[in-house]
Structure 1
Amino acid sequence: MSAEKDGPLRPPVQPMLAQARESLPGPGALDGGLAMDLKWDGYRVLAFTSVRRGGPFLLQSRKGSLLQDRFPDLVAAAVQLPPGLVLDGELLVLRGDGVMDFGALQRRGAASALGRVRTLAKAFPAYFVAFDVLQVEGRRVLAEPFERRRALLEGLFAGHALGPPWTLCPSTRDRAVAREWLETWTRTPGIEGVVVKGLQQSYRPGARGWLKVRARESTEAVIGAITGTLGRPRLLVLGRYDSEGRLRHVGKTTDVSDAAARQLAGQLTAASPGTHPWEGARFSTGWGTRDVLDTTLVVPDRVAEVSVDTARDNGVWRHPVRLVRLRLDMPVDDVETF
C-alpha cells in the first residue's frame, strides 16, 4: 500500500483476497473459529473518507483505480460517514425493479461523460455493502482480529444510523445458516455464495487469507466450438438456442481433462464453411478482456453437462464453467433455452 506505515491510509490499498473452496471448511480451517459473510457479485471497492470533515471521498477499485467520479450518488451519500474511515466492501447497482444488475454496474463503471454519468446514476442507483473496516477515526485497525473489526463495523452502522446506500453485509458464525445461504439465498441475482474468515485473522492487504465458496449447479449447454484440435479439445465454447432458434453464446469451460478429451474426440465434427451460426464470431479469453480464443467451430449437435456458479450477465456465465460429462443421451432440443 502507498501510505506511510503509521499514517492514515490513502489509495491505492490492496484488498485482502480469498481462495476458492468447493464446500464450507471445518471449524478449525482458519484462526480462532469462523465467520461467514455473504459473497456478492459486484465490484470490490474500498471507500475512503477524509480525516478532515468535508474533505474528498474516494472510491478505489480492486486494481487501484479511483471510481468516485462515476458514482456521484455515493459521493453525495458519503456525508453520512464519519471522517477518517476506510471501508472494504462490494459495489452493487439495482434496476428499477430492485434486482441487482451487473451489466448496469459495468456501464456505470465505464461511463465518463458527465451527462451519461448522471443519467445512469438516476436509472441504476449504487449501493455499498460493507463487510470490513480498515481504519476508524484516522486510526488503522488492520492488525485487529476480524472479530474486533466486525464489532467496530456494526458499531459504526448503529452509532451513525447508516442507511441506504450504505448496507451492512450479513455475517454469521452458524454453519447451518451459511449452508442455507448457499442453498437458497444464492438463487437471488447478485449473490454468489459465502466468504469464510477467521475470527482472529488480521487484515492482510493482497493476501489470499480468506476462503470463498460459490454456489454451483449442474445444467446443460450445446457445444458450438472448441479450442485445441478435434483430436484433443482443450476447452469448449457453449451456447443455447433462443426462442427464435438462434444459437446464443453462453460461456466457455475450463480446460477439459485428458479423459474427457478422449471422449469428446470421437463425437465432435468440424462445421462446414458457411453452415455454422457463429461463423465470423470472436470469443474472448476472459471476462472484460480483448484477447480472443483461437477456436474451431463444430456442428452444434452435442450437449455438455456442466457445473456453473451463479454469476451471470444477460444469460451468459461470467466465470468459466466445468465440464461434468458429455450427454450423448440428450438431444439439443432438450437443452434449456437462452
Structure 2
Amino acid sequence: MGADLHYEPKFDGHRLVMWRTEESVRLQTRSGRDVTAVWMDLALAGMQLPAGVVLDGEGIVYVGGRVDFGAAQSRANSTPARARVLAADHPAHYAVFDILGHPDHGDVRGWAWVRRRALLELVLEEYGLGPPIQAVPTTTDVATAQVWYEVLHAQGIEGLVVKAGSSTYRGNSRQWWKVRHAETVDAQVVGYTGPIERPRALAVQLPDGRIALSQALKASLAAQVGRLLQGAGPGRTARTTAGDRYVTAHPAVVVEVLAGTTRHAVVSVTRVR
C-alpha cells in the first residue's frame, strides 16, 4: 500500500451534495436533482453552516443501530409528506466525506484531498456541527482500516473507500476506489430496452469501457429507473459491444452491478446508486 493512501468506511446511503445558500440549504443528488423536500431534517441541520459552504456525503438512515440502505431508499423515493413520517421514526444522518466550496476560499475542488479534509474538519468544529452531520472517519493506518472492514460490516458499512491524499475532487478512479464486501462495481446507464417508463433491461457502460445489456430488471427497480429515464429525452437505436440493440439515454444515472458477471455480455443490476 502507498504512503499517500487514506481509508474511510463506505456508508451505504444516498449520495447528497449539501449547498448552504444565503437564505437556506439545498440538497441535490449526484445528477443535480433537487431532493431537499425529502431530506428536510438534514437541510435544517445544515443551517448551522455558513453561507457558501458546499459539502459532499451520504444521506444515511439507521434502523436498529445499523445503517439500512432500504430505509434510505424509502426516504429518497417518498413524497415530502411521507418523508416527514419516515423522519419521525428514523431520522436521517449525513456522513460527510468532502468539502467542495467555502465562503473564504471559493471552489476548493482543485485542492489536494488532505487539504480539503483539513478544511472540512475545521468548518465542522468551528461551527459546532455534530449529529446528524458528521465527517466520516479516516485513517492512514492499514491495520485500522482492516479492522473497520471486518468489524463494521455488521453495522451496515459496506466496505472501504481508499483515496490518494494528493487527489483533487476531479481525480479519476485510480485516485479513489472502493473495496466492498459484495463484489459489485458501479456502471453508467447509457440506454434501455422496453418502455421507457418501465424498462425491461438497461444498457450500461462498465468500468473497462464495454457497453453491455443487463438481465431483466425487477418490477420495483424498473419503476425507479423509469422515473429517472423519463427526463432523459428521446434516444436513438444503438448496439452494445456484443451487438444487442437498445435505445440510448443519458440521464446521469449510475447503477450497481454484480462484478462477477461483468466479464460476460449480460450483467445483473442490483440497485441505483
1:43 corresponds to: 14
1:94 corresponds to: 62
DSSP 3-state at the match of 2:222: coil
The residue identity in structure 2 corresponding to 1:84 is: G
2:2 corresponds to: 27
1:287 to partner: Cα distance: 8.3
The residue identity in structure 1 corresponding to 2:17 is: L
The residue identity in structure 2 corresponding to 1:284 is: L
| Unpaired stretches in structure 1, ≥5 consecutive residues | 1-25, 218-281, 292-317, 324-338
Let me know the Cα RMSD of the aligned residues.
Answer: 2.5
1:288 to 200, 221, 236: 221
| TM-score of the aligned structures, taking structure 1 as reference length | 0.54
**Contact in 2 for aligned 1:86/1:135 (Cα 8 Å):** yes
DSSP 3-state at the match of 1:94: strand
Residues in 2 aligned to 1:41 and 1:287: alpha-carbon distance in whole angstroms: 19
1:285 to partner: Cα distance: 6.4
Residues in 2 aligned to 1:133 and 1:288: alpha-carbon distance in whole angstroms: 31
2:253 equivalent to 1:320: no
Please list the CA deviations of residues 214-261 of structure 1 after superposition, one character each: whole Å capped at 9, or x if unmatched: 1259xxxxxxxxxxxxxxxxxxxxxxxxxxxxxxxxxxxxxxxxxxxx
1:123 to 73, 89, 92: 89
Matches within 5 A, 1:1-338: 26-27=1-2, 33-50=4-21, 52=22, 55-95=23-63, 97-112=64-79, 114-137=80-103, 139-189=106-156, 191-204=157-170, 207-208=172-173, 209-216=175-182, 284=217, 288-290=221-223, 320=258, 322=260
Structure 1 pair 216–120 and aligned structure 2 pair: CA distance change class (3 A): closer
**Contact in 2 for aligned 1:183/1:215 (Cα 8 Å):** no
2:190 corresponds to: none
1:99 to partner: Cα distance: 2.5
DSSP 3-state at the match of 2:168: coil
1:297 corresponds to: none
1:193 to partner: Cα distance: 1.0
1:319 to partner: Cα distance: 5.2
Residues in 1 aligned to 2:10 and 2:66: alpha-carbon distance in whole angstroms: 16
1:286 to partner: Cα distance: 10
| TM-score of the aligned structures, taking structure 2 as reference length | 0.66
Structure 1 pair 86–101 and aligned structure 2 pair: CA distance change class (3 A): same
Structure 1 pair 287–198 and aligned structure 2 pair: CA distance change class (3 A): farther
**Contact in 2 for aligned 1:87/1:133 (Cα 8 Å):** yes
The residue identity in structure 2 corresponding to 1:74 is: L
Larger radius of gyration: 1
Residues in 2 aligned to 1:63 and 1:119: alpha-carbon distance in whole angstroms: 26
1:74 to partner: Cα distance: 1.2
**Contact in 1 for aligned 2:12/2:68 (Cα 8 Å):** no
Identity %: 36
**Contact in 1 for aligned 2:25/2:44 (Cα 8 Å):** no
Please list the CA deviations of residues 134-172 of structure 1 after superposition, one character each: whole Å capped at 9, or x if unmatched: 111161111111110010011112111211110110000
Structure 1 pair 284–70 and aligned structure 2 pair: CA distance change class (3 A): same
Considering fraction of residues, name the structure with more helix: 2
